[in-house]
Structure 1
């Protein structure tokens, strides 16, 4: 199911968030949808966002970082158009070619990666995804797999091994 709505940024104390309308939030809860792929549009610019559906004090929202606001050139009080649907991908995150290639070439690392919690898998995927440049993504993917193989299962505590 595809959900479409407009949201004003920075209302109700949620500056770094896109508030989801109550009727859509209710449907997400009924369908037990916790992760979405959203296309955010403003100022003739478009951004694809893989995000978790969060809830705080009864308000349901998507995190919307300062970096993403800068990419779309929007600020508090601006309105954005949102089109979102459930993220049905295997890891519920944007798998890069570089990380996929490393996982395919290193079976031991792949087996360890598959035993991680979905959140830790996504942390590693986003760590690679957010790197600038193909070689940097390869280096980070290789480093992450080496950390897994030496027993470090916490992406926030990965050491630079390469």
Structure 2
């Protein structure tokens, strides 16, 4: 579905830049249980995103990195191509993390018991690293953390575990 919208910014709160999505498009692209879309912006950037509800319509968040790649400023018009995201996690799963989950039954169990949003956060942590070795290292740290805390994700402890793995690079 092709949509023309503009880059806007909320005046308050921690979330800022976004693309408003009309009520009509929101109704066509989402349901009560499914609000994830793949959003291609100006044919340049593809993002796996949520249609975040706002009154009867919605919006799609856009981060600084993607705004920079797009070279767009506040109030500028953009063309979005939206399709429903039917992927299992709402983000592409890095092969390195999938292999680790396949090999670690307990870690995989804890990972799959997390909410979809927490799963996406962990997938993003791994996928934002370009080096496969670093992805594996980060994935190992995440799975060890989940085992250590019996699946009760703790961001501070996870960051410490990742830092430990980064300092002792001989895990892989």
Aligned residues: 157
The one of 48, 51, 54 equivalent to 1:53 is 51
Contact persistence 1:37–1:50 (CA under 8 A): yes
Q: Which runs of 5+ in 1 are unaligned?
A: none
Structure with the bigger percentage of helix: 2
* Deviation per residue, 1:14-38 (Å, 9 max, x gap): 9510111232123235575311111
Runs of 4+ off more than 4 Å: 11-15, 29-32
Q: With structure 2 as the length reference, what TM-score do the two structures score?
A: 0.80
The one of 128, 134, 137 equivalent to 1:136 is 134
CA distance in 2, matches of 1:61, 1:127: 23
Deviation (angstroms), 1:46: 1.2
CA distance in 1, matches of 2:138, 2:127: 10
For 2:121, what is the secondary structure of its paired residue?
helix
* Deviation per residue, 1:99-155 (Å, 9 max, x gap): 111111212211111111111111111111112322221111111101001015326
Q: Which residue pairs with 1:98 in the alignment?
A: 96
Q: Which residue pairs with 2:112 in the alignment?
A: 114
Q: Which runs of 5+ in 2 are unaligned?
A: 166-172
CA distance in 2, matches of 1:11, 1:112: 37
> How large is the Cα RMSD of the aligned pairs?
2.2
Q: With structure 1 as the length reference, what TM-score do the two structures score?
A: 0.85
Q: Which residue pairs with 2:26 in the alignment?
A: 25
